Amino acid sequence: MSYVFVTRRVPGRAVELLREAGHGVDVWDGEMPPGSDILRERLLEADAALTLVTDPVGPDLLAAAPRLRVVANMAVGYDNIDADAAAAAGVWATNTPGVLHETTADLAFALLLAAARNVVLGDRDTRDGGWRTWSPTAFLGHDPFGATLGIVGLGEIGRAVARRARGFGMTVLAATRTPRPGVERELGVEGVSLTELLERSDFVTLHVPYGPETEHLMGPAEFAAMKETAILVNTARGGVVDQDALVEALRTGAIGGAALDVTVPEPLPLDHPLYEFPNVVITPHIGSGSHATRARMAEMAAENIIAVLAGEEPPNPVNRPPNPRSA
Ligand code: NAP
């Protein structure tokens, strides 16, 4: 019997699917991730791992996992896995595309609206007893309706954000690696350079994967190019933003605010300067966090494992081992 290590309790039928396929399943029951020692110990025997973004899988761990045939990440981003090292070791790495973009786009929009209209500040003030009368000047924000939205990275999530922006009457600009004029036309999006996007946008929302090419894509020069009232929304990965430069931009008023679902590190320590700004909204990496989507993501990860352990190619590979390990 093959043995699958699942690094946290996951929603939906994923574990059932694995058991129905005849595999032994061990689910890490802790609230916190298993940590590198436990991961190493469990993967010593495991044929497959269902991992989360909180589980780093690098060459050392792979070398210590002689039976491992697939690492199925329950996420579309897989920067926690060294996919090339996995391929070299004969191990498939997989992700969960196509099922979480609408849910993540919803959160990007929720953050945009929250930051633009002081939703979180207003809630906090209400609970603190600050709501004494209707005030003509309190908590004034900026209108998303009719504003210009800049989307950086026009992939699945970026496109889903663009569709939402239509309903808000927004002018939508996009800067992406591979411009696709047909897609841009269909979405009513104007393809521009990153610099032009930053100069013209009232809201800038990031939807690129994290990697060497996108690390600190938003740095001092980019913040300087933004409007002083513009709000940055980041639901991509924390490392796409140079966080020190962001703090500086907020401190000097170079930008109007930020709404972040992802940070470096995660969780963001409570003494971090980003918490000091009232015009910053922070959520704990919940972009894909709806009941239905998280269940579907876990089930997809299970389906990738089931395929590999049956000797097939997984449906959602992010690498291609030249010599995949076999049972
Ligand atoms: P996707 O469909 O792969 O789209 C990514 C887009 O970014 C592609 O259009 C890609 O261009 C573009 N891109 C890549 N490198 C770029 C660069 N250097 N400059 C400009 N554009 C670049 O991915 P997705 O599903 O939209 O997800 C995007 C990211 O969101 C994921 O990688 C993940 O890290 C993050 N995410 C976060 C959460 C959350 O919970 N907060 C949830 C889901 C995803 P090409 O067409 O040339 O490849």
In the annotation, is 285 catalytic?
A: yes
* Nearest protein Cα to ligand 1, atom 1: 155
In the annotation, is 266 catalytic?
A: yes
Q: What spacing in Å lies between the alpha carbon of 294 and ligand 1's midpoint?
A: 18
Q: What spacing in Å lies between the alpha carbon of 156 and ligand 1's midpoint?
A: 7
Q: What spacing in Å lies between the alpha carbon of 92 and ligand 1's midpoint?
A: 21
Q: Where are the alpha helices (DSSP H) in 226-266?
A: 243-252
Q: How would residue 196 be classed by pLDDT, with cut points 50, 70 and 90?
A: very high
177 and 263 share one domain: yes
159 and 86 share one domain: no
Q: What confidence tens digit (pLDDT) does each residue in 202-227 have?
A: 999 999 999 999 999 999 999 999 99
Q: What confidence tens digit (pLDDT) does each residue in 123-175 have?
A: 999 999 999 999 999 999 999 999 999 999 999 999 999 999 999 999 999 99
CA proximity to 2, closest of 295, 298, 307: 307
State the CATH number of the domain containing residue 169: 3.40.50.720
Domain membership of residue 90 (yes or no) is: yes
> Containing domain of residue 234, as a range?
101-282
Which of 18-22, 294-298, 323-327 is predicted with the least confidence, judged by mean pLDDT?
A: 323-327
Domain membership of residue 18 (yes or no) is: yes
CA distances from 271 to 98, 128, 275, 277, 280 (A): 37, 22, 7, 12, 15
DSSP type of residue 117: T
Backbone φ and ψ of 78, nearest 5°: -135, 30
83 and 107 share one domain: no
Q: What confidence tens digit (pLDDT) does each residue in 107-134 have?
A: 999 999 999 999 999 999 999 999 999 9
Q: What confidence tens digit (pLDDT) does each residue in 81-98 have?
A: 999 999 999 999 999 999
Buried b (16+ CB within 10 A) or exposed e, 99-122: bbbbbbbbbbbbbbbbbbbbbbbb
Q: Is 27 left (phi over 0), alpha (psi -120 to 50) or beta?
A: beta
- Residue 288 in contact with ligand 1 by CB distance below 6 A: yes
Domain membership of residue 315 (yes or no) is: no
Q: Which of 285, 296, 299, 303 is catalytic?
A: 285
- Residue 214 in contact with ligand 1 by CB distance below 6 A: yes
258 and 299 share one domain: no
What are the strands of the beta sheet with 48-51, ordered from one edge? Answer: 24-27, 3-6, 48-51, 70-73, 92-94
Q: Which of 20, 266, 276, 313 is catalytic?
A: 266
- pLDDT above 90 for 327: no
31 and 16 share one domain: yes
Backbone φ and ψ of 258, nearest 5°: -150, 150
63 and 157 share one domain: no
Q: What confidence tens digit (pLDDT) does each residue in 282-321 have?
A: 999 999 999 999 999 999 999 999 999 999 999 999 999 9
Per the listing, tokens 């924390």 go with 238
Q: How would residue 183 be classed by pLDDT, with cut points 50, 70 and 90?
A: very high
Helices first, then strands: H and E counts in the chain? 12, 12
Mean pLDDT of the chain: 98
- Residue 262 in contact with ligand 1 by CB distance below 6 A: yes
- Residue 150 in contact with ligand 1 by CB distance below 6 A: no
What is the average per-residue pLDDT within 236-261?
A: 98
- Residue 208 in contact with ligand 1 by CB distance below 6 A: yes
Q: What spacing in Å lies between the alpha carbon of 60 and ligand 1's midpoint?
A: 27
Query: What's the distance, CA 288 to chain centroid?
Result: 8
Query: ∠ CA(55), CA(79), CA(60), 5° rounding?
Result: 55
User: Reduced to 3 states, what is the DSSP secondary structure of residue 176?
Assistant: coil
How far apart (Å, rounded) are the C-alpha atoms in residues 151 and 60? 37
- Residue 85 in contact with ligand 1 by CB distance below 6 A: no
